[in-house]
Amino acid sequence: MKRRIALAAAAVAAAIALPLSSATAAEASTWRIAGYYTTAAECDRAGQAGAVLWGPLYMCKYTGQQNGHDWYELWVH
């Protein structure tokens, strides 16, 4: 009887832990926008300064002109 209860408890724990662990891994592998900047140099400085928060992986993506200004998106991993 103890063996069945232990097996059932282990199955319940695994059923709860597996979706939580996969959600965490999936979330950790996504890229997200951390800000918008008017120059590539400004975007790069912000990426380097925020490396403590999001790690060393970041990229600045040129998104075009709007209202006479160039815009760069800071993407972080």
Strand partners, 69: 66
Number of other CB atoms surrounding residue 47 within 10 Å = 21
pLDDT in tens, 10-29: 554 555 554 444 455 555 67
Quote the pLDDT of residue 47: 96
Query: Which residue numbers in the chain have pLDDT < 70?
Result: 1-28
Quote the pLDDT of residue 18: 44
Quote the pLDDT of residue 76: 96
Instruction: Give the strand order in the sheet containing 69-76.
Output: 32-37, 69-76, 58-66
